[in-house]
Amino acid sequence: MHEVLDLAGIFVFALSGALVGVRRRLDVVGMAVLAEMTALGGGILRDLVLNIRPAAFSSLGYVLVPMVATLIVFFWHPHVQRVMPAVDVFDAAGLGLFCAVGTEKAMSYGLSPLHAALLGITSAVGGGVLRDILAGQIPSLLYDRQLYAVPAMLGSALMALLYTLDLHGWPTTLAAAMLAFGLRIAAMRLRLRAPLARGVTSEQPK
């Protein structure tokens, strides 16, 4: 079940990466690169920190799933965008799944709850940062005040706490993922924002 959740996170992140490629008017190769980097970047960083072979280089599914997501978006992106509000919802789902799965994996490799939570956050936001850089955008992590990293922090913290309490398994992971996902969606819907430095205006960066 752990691998299924991991692949689910990869799939939704890959969809968000491919949709950004559509928005930036990239060809299918560019869409595939964004999908792969968005889906696998955070997990590769996580596994390198854990000093293990990244799952992306040991399982064919981790490479094929983003390719499938790319093809879905390539042929049916208008339908994908109508079903859900495109990039933001897919990105929120990937954020939730990756922060929970990343934290759980770090805990299983012996990291302390604090360090495991930090690595879970890195897993969640790493792919999105790579996606935005490759797409020529300022990473939303740096300026999106609608609480992007905060939901990942809280989801990772809950996962670490539950694991410490000896609550393991996919229901626990899914609960932490849903917390992060729900908070991210609520932040977008309700326009919940983190504060800027005193005296700074809220202009969107170019």
pLDDT (tens digit per residue) in 151-200: 999 999 999 999 999 998 888 999 999 999 999 999 888 888 777 777 77
Task: Compute the distance between CA of residue 158 and CA of residue 170 in angstroms, rounded to an integer.
Answer: 14
Mean pLDDT confidence for 60-81: 86
Task: Compute the distance between CA of residue 2 and CA of residue 142 in angstroms, rounded to an integer.
Answer: 30
| Token pair for 82 | 């109508």
pLDDT at 158: 97
C-alpha 148 chain-centroid distance: 10
pLDDT at 157: 97
Compute how many other C-beta atoms are within 10 angstroms of the C-beta atom of residue 201: 5
C-alpha 97 chain-centroid distance: 7
The DSSP H or E segment spanning 148 is none
Mean pLDDT confidence for 15-34: 91
This prediction's pTM: 0.81
One-letter amino acid of 52 = I
